[in-house]
Chain A
Amino acid sequence: MEKIEYTDEGQFFSGHVACAGCVEALSMRVILNTLGKDTVGVVAPSCSAVILGGHPMSAAKIPVLHGTLESAAASASGVKRALKAQGRDDTTVLCLAGDGGTYDIGLQALSSAAERNEDILYVCFDNEGYMNTGGQKSSSTPRNAATGSTPFGKTTRKKNLIEILAAHRIPYIATVSPSHLNDMAAKIAKAQTIEGTKVVIVLIPCLPGWGVADNDAVATARLGVESGVFPLFEIEDGVRYTMTKSDKSDAINGYLKKQKRYRHLTEADRADLQAEVDETWSRLLAQAETTV
């Protein structure tokens, strides 16, 4: 088992209000401690906003602007420019948003910030749906997953946000998982040193939203990574792909079986999903090899 090596700088407090066993809180702890105290946060309405807790308490030691759902990247741009105008350009500006606030309603503002190459670090906690409102589908929800608004399973694919972002040619995009915390810390630390727009997507298996057992979120995330459903990789300047793990196990069945949102699947459905994962994985490997 891998030893977790990041240092706890006391940037994330106990007493937060995440669900017991939630790996978003775990990820926030790693991310906030990696970035350190010279950081200002912008949080979109999402599980992150809830986890940080109600005023006047806050689980984050850094100051946080609780902005509107569709404008996290625009708000972060405003913070960064104001700090720059006041001679505080070294401060890291961090966005924390969910997939609804990133793939859906916040995409326009994020695309614009990326086009302007604003010097912000945008972290998307991707739990593949509107889990904070009780579990409805977002454009990040994968095919066949059951949600409150897709009770028989979603009929269309998960939006490939990463390719959309890569097309903006921003300096850094990475995927990370709470099952690989050292990798998460390393990528966040790397992103912090890069000037321009950085986006990090974090896989967050949602306990109630996905129907995962309270003690199983890390294992579920690990299966997601190992089966290639959620590959770990980096893209620099939109074109240089680097696989963090360049092998995957054959089957996604183990990953699917951990989640009640997939329990209605037929063998044919599972085969379709497997084919989708295999195809995406091959394309990704080809892009990484081309880069090398």
Chain B
Amino acid sequence: MNAPAFADDMQLLNGNHAVAWGVRLAGPDVAPLYPITPQTPILEKLIEFQSSGAFQAELLTPESEHSAMAAAIAASATGARVFTATSSQGLLLMHELLHFASGARTPIVMFNVNRTPASPWGFWPDQIDSLSQRDTGWVQLYSENPQDSLDSVIQAFRIAEATNLPVMINHDAFYVSHSVEPVSLPSPEAVTDFLPRQARDIQLGDGSGRSLGAPIDQASWNRTRRDLDEAMKTVEQFAIDASQVWEKQTGRASAPLEFYRYHDAEIVFVTMGSMCGTAREAIDRLRTSGIKAGLLKVRLFRPLPNEALRDALRGAQHAIVLDRNYSPGTGGVLHQELRSVLFGTQDPPRLHGYLAGVGGLSVPEERLEALATEVRDTVPAANSLWLE
């Protein structure tokens, strides 16, 4: 893909600093932050912004990610716009509170830098940290590059506040978090227009005296999950609306699903995060050789856009799912999800699941190019295969 021309509104930013710029522009009231490699540049940049007076949030630096999320939930329930960021072990430490945040309907925005979980220790790009949180009730977005990360942060606040659901945006360790690219910065006015301060449901301290989270009976608990389900069902449309409005303001769309050379594609790559960039390069090579290849980028993973995925995959002959994650006993998480999506549809594409780049291994575009040829004469395995 051609690098964008360097315009006046651009800065050279790595992925994490692009996130910090997005947060600065969105203007949260409270930001509890705990450092962890490779998230730390987000924290450092925000503190630098605050020190210079450009960013006015109440910053808390508690002793753990668990307390950071506890403070985030409480602050959000009290009516504040809240941001936090983490990675890997930190996200996993928060697990209990991730359920709590969605149950309490707190529209927190969190950025997670995808990193291998221990043991053994590693600091490499791998998405199993966030994918293993898929049942916690958080909206999940996956970003491909620094610009995508900045745009996603701003859009995430809009989606969160429209649905009273917490939103987690993810980008890959180092491949995105520490890679420097030209990033277009929207004007503060454009962001204020996009993210107006609207009256929203404040669960704590709204003057009514009502409490939040007190024990309830079975039927009432059940109803909270039905309400959550209804809210989840609205996310995709809010994400589409956010993308369309953002596109009008900035010229950049970032829809729940994105496509590259897809219209007539017979062999499609389906993946998330930085792997999309590699797939784009491979697709260009394949197209040069006359092979009709395309990319389906899954940006919104929770809630998964089931119908849109079915529509998108109708007509493709082969779908190659590239999972930079490994769920032991299952295989690739996206592969599993897409099998569920396609089950029962007429003439689905042959779905080939590959565990590609697990643990941060580099996946060269040449390997993907070869893979597209290999799968044409292959009956897909039931399980995900390790990409050799």
Interface residues of A, Cβ cutoff 8 Å to B: 40, 42, 49-50, 52-56, 58, 60-68, 70-71, 73-79, 81-86, 88, 91, 108-109, 111-113, 115-116
Contact = CB atoms under 8 A, between A and B. Distances in A.
A77 B62 contact: yes
10 contacts: A54-B216, A55-B220, A63-B204, A65-B77, A68-B97, A74-B71, A76-B74, A81-B71, A82-B58, A108-B63
User: Closest 10 A-B residue pairs measured CB to CB?
Assistant: A78-B74, A78-B71, A71-B70, A74-B67, A112-B63, A82-B80, A82-B78, A66-B213, A82-B75, A85-B29
B62 A112 contact: yes
B100 interface: yes
Given A86-B79, A109-B63, A63 B205 contact: yes
A78 B57 CA distance: 12
A86 B212 contact: no
B212 A78 contact: no
For chain B, the bracket of interface size reads 35 or more
A161 to B, nearest CB: 17
B211 A66 contact: yes
B206 to A, nearest CB: 8
A66 B79 contact: no
B80 A85 contact: yes
B63 A54 contact: no
Contacts of A75: 70-71, 73-74
A41 B30 CA distance: 19
Given A75-B71, A85-B57, A67 B213 contact: yes
Interface string B171-183: 0000000000000
A78 B30 contact: yes
Contacts of A70: 66
B327 to A, nearest CB: 27
Nearest to B206: A63
Interface string B195-207: 0000000001110
A112 B33 CA distance: 13
Given A58-B210, A74-B70, 9 more contacts: A55-B215, A55-B216, A65-B211, A71-B97, A75-B73, A78-B76, A83-B205, A109-B62, A116-B61
Given A78-B73, A109-B62, A65 B67 contact: no
Nearest to B64: A108
Nearest to A58: B211
B96 A68 contact: yes
A82 B100 contact: no
B60 interface: yes
B282 interface: no
B68 to A, nearest CB: 8
B204 A65 contact: yes
B43 to A, nearest CB: 16
Contact of B75 (A61, A64, A78): A78
Contacts of A71: 66-67, 70, 97
Contact of B210 (A42, A63, A76, A116): A63
Contacts of A67: 70, 73-74, 100, 213
Given A63-B212, A76-B74, A85 B62 contact: no
A264 to B, nearest CB: 35
A79 B80 CA distance: 9
Contacts of B206: 63
B97 A40 contact: no
A54 B211 contact: no
Interface string B90-128: 000000110010000000000000000000000000000
A74 B70 CA distance: 6
A98 to B, nearest CB: 16
| Most chain B CB within a 10 A radius of its CB, from A86, A91, A111 | A86
